[in-house]
Chains A and B, each alone.
Chain A
Amino acid sequence: MEDTFKIGGRELTSRLFLGTGKFSSNRLIPEAVRASGAQVVTVALRRIDLEYEEENIAAYVPKDCILMPNTSGARNAQEAVRIARLARAAGCGNWVKIEVITDNRYLLPDNYETIKATEILAAEGFVVLPYMSPDLMVAKKLAEAGAAAVMPLGAPIGSNRGLRTKELVRILIDEIPLPIIVDAGLGRPSEAAEAMEMGAAAVLVNTAIATAGDPVAMARAFGLAVKAGRLAYLAGPGETQEYARASSPLTGFLRD
């Protein structure tokens, strides 16, 4: 049986989501999508230019992908809601990745405003995927508010620092019944594999692919790593031994 998962009623086979913001040419986007196998592609509404077909970033997302507009640039819940509505009105479907950032030095998400936006948009029928700082209480509130998945950051956006929030993300995976998608910070395929081995439902990658020397090859590498990590998770990795097995067991004398 194929290993699939569901978000917003859609059955997905690829567990790699692709971001589009930093490519040196929009023309690389379809190639990177194909090489990575991604089915969900996120584009900032602020970049979507419906009037200029040749330079319209959204036009480069293959038609069989789910286009997930994001609310980059939103400074509060209200702005995120307005951006999401504009995106839907512009024909970008009803998926939305909520990004509310009130800090331009580190680009860390504002969890409080994100919860508010999620509540409003989920009630309006959007499939809401909020980007957040990993925090169990916040994730619970997002789930209650109607989020379709939760997207904790691995490290600050664009930092390529890897899965720095591992312990916190692990708790979300254990406790939250929604798909947990690690978003931001993953710099190498091995880090994406690590997130998948832990049980993340998917990962979202932008900077590491878009700014690689060969973005298309890197997209393929991430696609393979995500598959490998997922396979390892399903295979159930052997428990790591915390202590070396003692050569003469302490309980060896117990015989029944």
Chain B
Amino acid sequence: MSFYEVRKEYAGFDFKGFFAGVTVDRVKRALSKSRLTEWDYLALLSPAAEECLEEMARKAHRLTVQHFGRVILLYTPLYLANYCVNRCVYCGFKANNRLERKKLTPAEVEREAGIIAATGLKHILILTGESRRHSPVSYIRECVKILKKYFTSISIEIYPLEESEYAELIAAGVDGLTIYQEVYDEEVYAELHPAGPKRNYRYRLEAPERACRAGMRTVNVGALLGLHDWRTEAFFTGLHASYLQDTFPDVEVSISPPRMRPQLGGFQPRVKVNDKDLVQYMLAFRLYMPRGGITISTRERAELRDHLVRLGATKMSAGSCTAVGGRSGHESTGQFEISDGRSVAEMARMLYDQGYQPVYKDWQMI
């Protein structure tokens, strides 16, 4: 059964009614278990659980240290191209936004790679918009070939591919996939993706499964927070991660809880997700999947990220730039504004100050 079908089984479920019925006692029962069901997870995402946040935080911290140690993996995103045929209403790169479109030439990829590698990072995440004409799989493969010389782990955050295409990129040296469903609610998804191939909800939702079948080592899923009720979106993200872990036990599964950031086009978040909500989500997920990764990007501001180190985070981006060619001095618009502009060295110092080891390398091509 694919996750699309799993997701369907919850159609019409009365989340409001469930949340209304959750008592602090119910939350505490979930908190005391070592293997939580999805209903325990949902209870931890409920408004009632807000009262138990500190208890959740203590357990989440303990579990994270136990399973991951006091270490945070650092990585950075590299935008290869911003051509896009989609019109996701919340994105600065959408097709109907007027901005300079660009894709890196091999020489530019080389230059950006050199700049990033000089910071010591060994894990890189490459991104493109969706344009099979401007940034086809063959182009991505060529970029991977160059990046392999500089990095020991390459992840992709690009448009969803066929299983055979994932296999092709894995053979070229890709080991990780990040793909956000953006919004798990199918109706809201349709509203926010008015045009382009991304309208196909199911094809996107099943992309991680195709990647896992093709042999991907790590997958990272997520919902973009701010588009729809965060509690249910967090629930489905966790469910998705858990499904992937059960179906592909040898894959390292992680989630991101990205919150919307200002972007060209000025779309405003539909719902507010405050810091407390974000923290509750992270803690609930940690208790639900003690060994699941949690990735925190530079969408979050420095001060908050410093706190999240001890609240379950396992991977953090550093020295980020969301513009194509932005590091080697090309002036262009980013996909969104970042909030934490610290360099890799500054992030490392912050981690050491907190008693954490920054990890630059946690995989190498074999």
Contact = CB atoms under 8 A, between A and B. Distances in A.
Contact of A104 (B68, B122, B250, B352): B250
Given A22-B68, A104-B291, A207-B66, A86 B364 contact: yes
A64 B80 CA distance: 46
Given A82-B366, A86-B364, A211 B357 contact: no
B66 A211 contact: yes
A210 B69 contact: yes
Contacts of A26: 357
- Secondary structure class of chain B's binding surface, majority of residues: loop
B82 to A, nearest CB: 31
Interface string B344-366: 00000000100111111111101
Chain B: interface residue count, which band? 20 to 34
A84 to B, nearest CB: 10
Nearest to B117: A51
B232 interface: no
B136 interface: no
A211 B63 CA distance: 11
Interface in A69-96: 73, 75, 79, 82-83, 86
A104 B252 contact: yes
B363 A21 contact: no
Contact of B70 (A24, A75, A102): A24
B69 A52 contact: no
A52 B364 contact: no
B249 A103 contact: yes
Contacts of B190: none
A22 B249 contact: no
Nearest to B362: A46
Given A23-B70, A25-B352, A158-B66, A105 B291 contact: yes
A101 B70 contact: no
A107 B65 CA distance: 16
A79 B246 CA distance: 21
Most buried by A among B245, B355, B359: B359
Nearest to B248: A104
Contacts of B318: none
Given A86-B366, A105-B291, A158 B360 contact: no
B71 interface: yes
Nearest to A86: B366
Contacts of A45: 364
Interface centre among B68, B69, B152 (most CB of A within 10 A): B69
Interface of A: 21-26, 45-49, 52, 55, 73, 75, 79, 82-83, 86, 101-105, 107, 158-160, 207, 210-211
Interface of B: 65-71, 120, 122, 152, 217, 245-246, 249-253, 291, 352, 355-364, 366
Given A22-B68, A24-B70, 8 more contacts: A21-B71, A22-B69, A47-B359, A49-B122, A49-B152, A86-B364, A104-B245, A105-B245
